[in-house]
Structure 1
Amino acid sequence: MASTSSTNDRGPIRPYGDTTGDGMVQLSFTLPIEHSKVAEGAAVQLANKMGMDPALVVHAKAMGEGFTFFVVYGRVNHLVDPSTVEVVERDYPLLTPKEANSAIKRALRRRLVVVGGCIGTDAHTVGIDAILNIKGFAGEKGLEYYRELKVVNLGAQVSVPQLVERAREEKADAVLVSQVVTQRDAHLLNTREMSAAFRESYPEDKRPLLVVGGPRFDETMAADLGVDRVFTRGTTPGEVASYLVHRLVTDRKKAA
């Protein structure tokens, strides 16, 4: 759920570079042009058009034939107001594996089934493996470590029909999808295709919980993408497990 951040009530602020409020920022980008003085001038021109004035090229390096990578340092006059920033706050408690297992066993009297994978042409399993595999991530064991969870990891390049079929076979309570490839918004297109397929294949009250994650997602886009939750970079297995218990155990118990 999106909410307004209250972490800073000081009002509008400027970036910090050398001294407080000086508005200095560092920006990196690549231009499709051979490295030269003209190329550096083009980089400064771009920075100026983006509101950096003055702007100074502090690093420029050829990146193969016909491309140059730049780092530009300069001042901006723009202000940001933290009090108006909308973020998705965690609205459920973090549980230990023992607490999650106990809640599932007590409420469901069976194992909670999770099916996960990378859909479309995405072959980057590092994200889904970090959440599902027992080795886990950031010092936390993955969902395979939870004895009351049955985890089915389908791996990479899973088609949407295959995902739906396997979710039905396993009687999945939740479907976890990781998307790392973002060229031409492939992660958004794949997610919308996936959510539409599940809605066509299941009655609304029988549909598995749909969770998607990846470094380029916006947490506030869950409703737009047709999923129940979006997780972004840095998410740990414990956060995902706690969310599943919150939605599939705690919330259902309250509704009953």
Structure 2
Amino acid sequence: MENDLSQVKPYGDTLGDGAIQLSFTLPIPYGEEAREACIQLAKKMGLEEIQIYHMKDLGINYTFFIIYGKLIHSIDFTTIRVPKLETKRMDFYQINEKIKNEFKRKITIIGACTGTDAHTVGIDAIMNMKGFNGEYGLERYPMIDAYNLGSQVKNEDLVQKIIELKADAVLVSQVVTQKGVHLKNLTELVELLEGAGIRKKIILICGGPRINHETALELGYDAGFGAGTVATDVASFIIEGMIKRSMK
């Protein structure tokens, strides 16, 4: 069967069959009523030929389900347009040489986990000297003054540090994102920077497992990086952004 990209469905045994597996918990007591509630909910999701593969009583009126079904909906893949980072990645040596030639000075980059977030794995992978996945962190770059402020940094304190160090770029990591707290926190930082009159003077980047470039742009950031990002990705984008701004 030819794959029609204008009518894309999940794939199971046969192309276009819509086969899908879901797991979820409902806040209802275990029993036949729970089974029927699961089926009704799955139908509202657009599933047919529903099979409850697994059903478990979690206690205190909660029931866990694993179900199979066939999705009736499809999407037109040919119409999808997503903002993407188009930066050409440079290596460690090219980045340092580029900074030296273009700016004639070191550039300053600040990184932090802000708000209540205490998870520093992501920001450490970018900032710390040892780096991640075979790539040095920004602290090792001779043409970069890198400041890793760590975790649970208040937005107000970060803004003061940006002003104090005259930062060229700021990296904000958000890992814990329950109830959309990361969106509120990231938005607040942009507002504080705008209030201080320095938003347009810096390259502002956010990153985390639930961050993508499109979301970052919507929140007022210059770029968003997800899982697997290394220091060369970030540094290459920062340099390109600084060069573009200097040309305006």
When normalised by structure 1's length, the TM-score is: 0.87
Q: 1:36 to 1:126 in 2, by over 3 A?
A: farther
Map of 1:91 onto structure 2: 86
Question: Could you list the runs of 5+ residues in structure 1 that have no partner in the other structure?
Answer: 1-7
Q: What is the CA–CA distance in structure 2 between the aligned matches of 1:66 and 1:222, rounded to whole Å?
A: 39
Q: What is the CA–CA distance in structure 1 between the aligned matches of 2:34 and 2:132, rounded to whole Å?
A: 42
Q: Is the 8 A contact 1:27 1:71 kept in 2?
A: yes
Matched ranges for 1:140-179 at <5 A: 140-179=135-174
Q: What is the CA–CA distance in structure 2 between the aligned matches of 1:68 and 1:132, rounded to whole Å?
A: 43
Question: Could you list the runs of 5+ residues in structure 2 that have no partner in the other structure?
Answer: none
Q: 1:115 to 1:21 in 2, by over 3 A?
A: same
Q: Alpha-carbon deviation of 1:178? A: 0.7
Q: What is the CA–CA distance in structure 1 between the aligned matches of 2:20 and 2:104, rounded to whole Å?
A: 55
Q: What is the CA–CA distance in structure 2 between the aligned matches of 1:139 and 1:36, rounded to whole Å?
A: 52
Q: What is the CA–CA distance in structure 2 between the aligned matches of 1:40 and 1:238, rounded to whole Å?
A: 51
Map of 2:213 onto structure 1: 219
Aligned residues: CA RMSD: 2.1
Q: Any idea what SS the aligned residue of 1:74 has? A: strand
Report how many aligned residue pairs link the two structures. Answer: 246
Q: Alpha-carbon deviation of 1:144? A: 2.0
Q: Alpha-carbon deviation of 1:120? A: 1.0
Q: Any idea what SS the aligned residue of 1:54 has? A: strand
Q: What is the CA–CA distance in structure 2 between the aligned matches of 1:67 and 1:148, rounded to whole Å?
A: 56
Q: Alpha-carbon deviation of 1:59? A: 2.6
Q: What is the CA–CA distance in structure 1 between the aligned matches of 2:59 and 2:211, rounded to whole Å?
A: 30
Q: What is the CA–CA distance in structure 1 between the aligned matches of 2:212 and 2:131, rounded to whole Å?
A: 23
Q: What is the CA–CA distance in structure 2 between the aligned matches of 1:159 and 1:79, rounded to whole Å?
A: 43
When normalised by structure 2's length, the TM-score is: 0.90
2:224 to 230, 235, 250: 230
Matched ranges for 1:18-97 at <5 A: 18-63=13-58, 65-97=60-92
Q: Does 2:190 align with 1:191?
A: no
Amino acid at match of 1:46: L
1:115 to 92, 103, 110: 110
1:239 to 216, 224, 233: 233
Q: Any idea what SS the aligned residue of 1:197 has? A: helix
Q: Does 2:233 align with 1:251?
A: no
Q: What is the CA–CA distance in structure 2 between the aligned matches of 1:234 and 1:64, rounded to whole Å?
A: 38
Q: 1:188 to 1:69 in 2, by over 3 A?
A: same
Amino acid at match of 1:169: E
Amino acid at match of 2:213: E
Q: 1:124 to 1:18 in 2, by over 3 A?
A: same
Identify which range, 74-83 or 215-224, moves more after superposition.
Answer: 215-224
Q: What is the CA–CA distance in structure 2 between the aligned matches of 1:231 and 1:188, rounded to whole Å?
A: 15
Q: Any idea what SS the aligned residue of 1:243 has? A: helix
Q: What is the CA–CA distance in structure 2 between the aligned matches of 1:93 and 1:178, rounded to whole Å?
A: 22
Q: 1:95 to 1:33 in 2, by over 3 A?
A: same
Q: Alpha-carbon deviation of 1:9? A: 8.0
Q: Any idea what SS the aligned residue of 1:57 has? A: strand
Q: Alpha-carbon deviation of 1:37? A: 3.7
The percent identity for this pair of structures is: 43
Q: What is the CA–CA distance in structure 2 between the aligned matches of 1:48 and 1:15, rounded to whole Å?
A: 16
